[in-house]
């Protein structure tokens, strides 16, 4: 096996996938959210970097081609499970997360079944877009968790009337609660919007792969 820099970056991304969830076992929130966000964004960047370096340095290999999609899927699936869990199984998160995870498992199983003919399921532009949007959405939702906990932490013990007055701009805001609430809202609604866009792209790419595989599935009966 050729352990060049692109393959090492891919391996690090594969290791980072479970590490995102482990952050929540060893660190309290919002520190865990920030660590998970930094780790996820860093790993997502290697998704671009390892492919770019492999092409630029002509170091593309079977090992990299095998590990790259596994690392991407592991990152997305584990992160979505963590986010769905900490969102209280919110349906706005749970539905797109479920469809995205289903598609990833379905296409992986389809490729395994097709064996040597799996080359017909080459990565399409839509599939690349959905991966990019998925990772962007997940990053935004991790940031939302940090804003949420800073807001809760700084407003603990504050009565509802005072909190509402600060949010309405009537009272002074020395703790920066309005900024935290704004960051929370932007990340929450922006993250959900991006996640649903990713879901649509995911379903489209999955349907396209299935359509391409139908002749081979019929021929195997």
Instruction: For residue 46, give Cα distances in angstroms to 8, 71, 72, 85, 126.
Output: 10, 10, 10, 26, 20
Q: What is the pLDDT of residue 122?
A: 66
User: d(Cα 105, Cα 76) in Å, to the nearest integer?
Assistant: 12
In tens, the pLDDT along 23-48 reads 888 888 878 888 889 989 988 888 77
What are the phi and psi torsion angles at 201 (to 5°)? -60, -35
Assigned CATH for 5-209: 1.20.120
Whether the upstream peptide bond of residue 29 has omega within 30° of 0, thus cis, is no
Kindly state the tokens that stand for 178: 């309005």
Res. 101 pLDDT band, cuts 50 70 90: very high
Please say if the pLDDT value at position 56 is more than 60: yes
Q: What is the pLDDT of residue 62?
A: 72
In tens, the pLDDT along 112-130 reads 777 666 566 666 788 888 8
Task: Between 215 and 15, name the one with better pLDDT.
Answer: 15
Kindly state the tokens that stand for 110: 């389809």
CB-based burial of residue 4 (10 Å sphere; 0-12 exposed, 13-18 middle, 19+ buried)? Answer: middle
Q: What is the pLDDT of residue 118?
A: 56
Mean pLDDT estimate for the chain: 84
Contact 44, 72 (CB under 8 A): no
Please say if the pLDDT value at position 13 is more than 90: no
Please say if the pLDDT value at position 220 is more than 60: no
Kindly state the tokens that stand for 139: 């990053």
In tens, the pLDDT along 166-193 reads 888 888 888 888 999 999 999 999 999 9
The domain limits of the chain are 5-209
Highest mean pLDDT among 45-49, 89-93, 105-109 belongs to 89-93
């Amino acid at each position: 096996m050729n352990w060049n820099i692109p393959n090492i970056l891919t391996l690090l991304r594969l290791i980072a996938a479970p590490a995102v969830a482990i952050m929540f076992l060893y660190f309290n929130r919002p520190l865990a959210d920030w660590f998970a966000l930094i780790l996820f964004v860093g790993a997502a960047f290697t998704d671009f970097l390892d492919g770019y370096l492999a092409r630029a340095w002509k170091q593309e290999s079977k090992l990299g081609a095998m590990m790259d999609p596994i690392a991407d899927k592991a990152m997305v699936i584990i992160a979505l499970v963590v986010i769905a869990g900490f969102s209280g199984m919110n349906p706005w998160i749970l539905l797109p997360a479920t469809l995205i995870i289903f598609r990833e498992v379905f296409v992986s199983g389809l490729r395994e079944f097709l064996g040597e003919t799996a080359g017909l399921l080459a990565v399409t532009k839509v599939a690349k877009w959905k991966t990019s949007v998925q990772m962007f959405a997940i990053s935004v939702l991790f940031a939302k968790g940090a804003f949420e906990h800073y807001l809760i932490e700084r407003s603990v013990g504050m009565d509802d009337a005072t909190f509402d007055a600060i949010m309405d701009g009537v009272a002074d805001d020395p703790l920066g609660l309005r900024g935290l609430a704004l960051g929370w809202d932007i990340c929450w609604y922006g993250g959900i919007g991006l996640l649903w866009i990713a879901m649509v792209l995911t379903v489209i790419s999955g349907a396209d792969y299935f359509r391409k595989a139908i002749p081979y599935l019929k021929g195997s009966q």
